[in-house]
């Protein structure tokens, strides 16, 4: 029954991220708008798959970023160069995903993919 426990822990993580993190809620909202829109528009199959996949990946990156921030915050409130680096890298990963998502939408709407 390890799988059931793991599933419960995963749901706890989703609830925590959704309840505590405005950034996660924003990315969820983007996906709730973007995924149906990608399916509804007459985009190429490749563009549709890339957009849906990127929305999902953006959610995953935000969950990982939230986990990094929580772990660093748990260590202590003092400012430390390595803690800042970890948080900044998590934030940068999400920025890369969001820039890619915007670029992908732009290319898809322009008929480039």
Residues 38-64: pLDDT tens digits?
999 999 999 999 999 999 999 999 999
Predicted pLDDT of residue 23: 96
Instruction: Tabulate helix, strand, coil % of the chain (nearest 5).
Output: 85, 0, 15
Mean pLDDT of 12-29: 96
Predicted TM-score of the model (pTM): 0.92
Asked if 62 is an active-site residue, the reply is: yes
In the chain, what's the furthest Cα-to-Cα distance?
51
pLDDT at 79 over 90: no
- Answer whether residue 78 shows pLDDT above 90: no
Pick the catalytic residue: 21, 26, 62, 82?
62
Q: How confident is the model at residue 25 (pLDDT cuts 50, 70, 90)?
A: very high
């Amino acid at each position: 029954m390890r799988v059931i426990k793991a599933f419960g822990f995963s749901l706890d993580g989703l609830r925590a991220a959704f309840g505590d993190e405005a950034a996660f809620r924003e990315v969820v909202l983007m996906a709730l708008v973007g995924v149906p829109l990608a399916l509804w528009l007459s985009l190429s199959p490749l563009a549709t798959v890339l957009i849906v996949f990127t929305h999902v990946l953006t959610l995953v990156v935000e969950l990982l970023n939230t986990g990094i921030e929580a772990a660093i915050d748990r260590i202590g409130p003092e400012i430390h160069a390595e803690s800042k680096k970890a948080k900044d890298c998590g934030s940068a990963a999400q920025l890369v995903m969001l820039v890619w998502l915007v670029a992908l939408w732009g290319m898809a709407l322009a008929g480039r993919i």
